[in-house]
Amino acid sequence: MQSDDVIWSVIGHEFCSYKVRTVTQNFCRNEYNVTGLCTRQSCPLANSRYATVRENEGVLYLYMKTIERAHTPAKMWEKIELSKDYSKALEQIDKELKYWPNFTIHKCKQRVTKITQYLIKMRRIKLRQEPKLVGVKKKLDRREATRERKALSAAHLEKSIEKELIERLKSKAYGDAPLNVNESVWQAILDREKSGKEKELNAGTQLDMEDDETDGEEEEEVVEEDWDAEGGEFVSDFSGDEDGDLDDDLSDLEDVVDGGLGAEETGDDQSDDDSSPEDQPPTKTVLGKRKAKPTAKAPPQKKLDKPGRRGPRVEVEIEREMESVPFTRSALANW
């Protein structure tokens, strides 16, 4: 026979595995405790008639214990699901605990209210977009870093071995046709080398073309800079002043030619008695040509005459433009 007073006298004043002692109050860690306090009315072990409310995955359940099921601990607690509606859940508690003590009914309703409030708060927190905290596994990161380092070193080793084997095959260290080398692999290596050489040649030709273009541009810039430094200026060949000078020069030349022809006629009449026209050489009239303005030229370099290498003697006639002076009849005749 179960005696609640005897049980409480033992666990309340001596030892209980669910009791948590503090300075001000004692708490109970039993999952069926309706208040969480270690008291005579709240203790689920020292009360044969007991009721509480628990939550499982967002669903509320009402648990009830009676003295009639005390001999079967596996079927001691009766489980009743409560409605999600708060008011209907309270009505269910009143209906199921109709003749129970008021303390138990009141504490079950308080527990339903508290659980409903924190379920609502949980739903609101889920709707918010908050940063998700992810744990850092230092040991796993360290292990992966070590594996990557070892794999990289192995890859370098494989590449160095492959390069050495290719060099040996090229140098025919194994003969013209090695026995343990697949032809497809050897052909793939040759094709790769050929494509690499073609890419290098193309890159070299492109660089040469770019160098030629840049050299041409630099030469043009240097010529322009030299011309600017010397003070040169590009002028049109047909300017207004030069046209006027050209007309004046042509008119002067025509007058000179007409005067020269008249003088020659008079001279011929006077010299008919002295000599025949066959003895005299024919006179030639040379029309003057317009010369460009002398430009600043560098002084000619004197060449050293080497003994024993003198060429044929050449006479050079130099025409110099003189300042315009009024011509006399004697000058016109001799011109």
Closest CA to 96 of 63, 72, 69, 73: 63
Q: What does the pLDDT read at residue 247?
A: 57
Separation CA 244–CA 238 (nearest Å): 10
Separation CA 109–CA 34 (nearest Å): 10
Angle between helices 102-127 and 86-96 (to 10 degrees): 160
Structure confidence by residue, pLDDT tens digits, 246-260 = 555 556 655 655 555
Q: Please state the rounded mean pLDDT for residues 140-149.
A: 93
Composition of the chain by helix, strand, coil, percent to 5:
50, 10, 40
Q: What does the pLDDT read at residue 152?
A: 87
What band does 277 get if pLDDT is binned at 50, 70 and 90?
very low
pTM more than 0.95: no
Q: Are 335 and 256 in contact (CB under 8 A)?
A: yes
CA 91, 40, 51: angle at the middle one, nearest 5?
25
Q: CA dihedral in degrees (220, 224, 225, 227; nearest 10)?
A: 140
Q: What does the pLDDT read at residue 260?
A: 54
Structure confidence by residue, pLDDT tens digits, 153-208 = 888 887 888 788 778 777 777 766 665 666 776 677 777 777 877 877 777 777 66
Q: What does the pLDDT read at residue 290?
A: 52
DSSP code of residue 271: T
State percent of the chain over pLDDT 70. Answer: 60
Longest CA–CA separation in the chain, Å? 189
Place of tokens 């666990």: 11
Separation CA 311–CA 328 (nearest Å): 42
**Which string of b and e fits 2-35 if b means at least 16 CB within 10 Å?**
eeeeebbeebbeeebebbeeeeeeeebebebbbb
Q: What does the pLDDT read at residue 33?
A: 93
268 CB-near residues (< 8 Å, 6+ apart):
277
- Say if strands 19-21 and 77-81 run parallel, antiparallel, or are unpaired: unpaired
Backbone φ and ψ for 255, nearest 5 degrees, come out as -65, -40
What band does 89 get if pLDDT is binned at 50, 70 and 90?
very high
Q: In the predicted model, what is the mean pLDDT of the chain?
A: 75
What band does 135 get if pLDDT is binned at 50, 70 and 90?
confident
